Amino acid sequence: MSDLFFDCLGDTRALTPEFDAETASRLQADANNRTVAVQDNLPKVNVDRHNYGTGKAFVTHFPNGLRVIREGSSYKFEAPPGGAVSADGKTVYDSQKKVVARADDNDAVQVDSKYGKFLEKKDGKVDFTANAKTPVDNNLQSLHKKGDISKSQYEDYGLATDGKSTTFPNGLKWTKGTAKDSLGDVTYPAEYDQPYEVDSQDADGNPVRTAYVRKGGQLIYRMDSQGVHVPVADGVVTQKADGTVTFEPKAP
């Protein structure tokens, strides 16, 4: 936009940096407030989905730790660590008793997240309405950086915690151990149905456990002396015994 534009309107004021910033902010807000369908690229917005059973049932894990399980015409919620589901099964609270999701009478689910709102419809299609914090093109994976993940960044990676337990996008739950140097305990989501575990040792003789989904063989986690390593869409998240969490991106 040039000064000539304002001359044509009878306004001869010069463009200022403040005006440019204000305009850019408004345009960005307008762009972010648009609702877009994201079901064709859920990992880009930190949403994990996998089918189970006959393949018609599926689980959707949202960035705030909420899991929505749909089988046929029914659904149920699993709250983030420390959270709860209302008695009527329609509202979900996090560990701070904040509402993070609610279902309507058509069984559609609205999910509140750090970067906007998701709407999962009964047929499984997902829409996303970004807020002003959202990166360009709604690419939440662009927030993933190699190294330590602070508690304030957990939702950026699809992690949720109440300080005792942490859940990962694939549904795995880690709970801090009580014994010194314990790597903690892991709990599988119900839909994995008796995953198989392989116990071995590393080069130094330390125990290693690797777990896979029985049907399909997908890796669920690997536990070794360094921690619990959980695969995510674009890399690996490692939960260490001291509570530290790190991210290692996939090789280009």
Amino acid, single-letter form, for residue 156: D
Q: For residues 85 and 155, state if they share a domain.
A: no
- Per-residue model confidence (pLDDT) at position 1: 43
Hey, what are 148's tokens?
Answer: 């330590």
Domain's final residue, options 136, 169, 198: 136
Q: How far apart are CA 78 and CA 65, in angstroms?
A: 9
- Whose CA is closest to 45, among 56, 32, 26? 32
Q: Report the Cα–Cα distance between both ends of the chain, in Å, rounded.
A: 39
Total domains present in the chain: 3
Hey, what are 176's tokens?
Answer: 């801090």
Domain's final residue, options 119, 136, 153: 136
Whether the model clears a pTM of 0.85, i.e. scores above it, the answer is: no
> Domain range spanning residue 109?
35-136
Q: For residues 220 and 237, state if they share a domain.
A: yes
Helix, strand or coil for residue 141?
A: helix
Q: Is a pLDDT exceeding 90 seen at residue 198? A: yes
Q: For residues 160 and 230, state if they share a domain.
A: yes
User: What share of the chain in percent tops pLDDT 90?
Assistant: 64
pLDDT in tens, 106-154: 999 999 999 999 999 999 999 999 999 998 889 999 999 999 999 999 9
Ramachandran angles phi, psi of 29, nearest 5° = -65, -40
Contact yes or no for 123/105 (Cβ under 8 A): no
Torsional sign, CA 110, 72, 46, 128: negative
Contact yes or no for 61/233 (Cβ under 8 A): no
pLDDT in tens, 204-236: 998 999 999 887 788 999 999 899 999 999 999
Say which DSSP state 176 is in: -
- Per-residue model confidence (pLDDT) at position 182: 73
Domain's final residue, options 102, 136, 170: 136
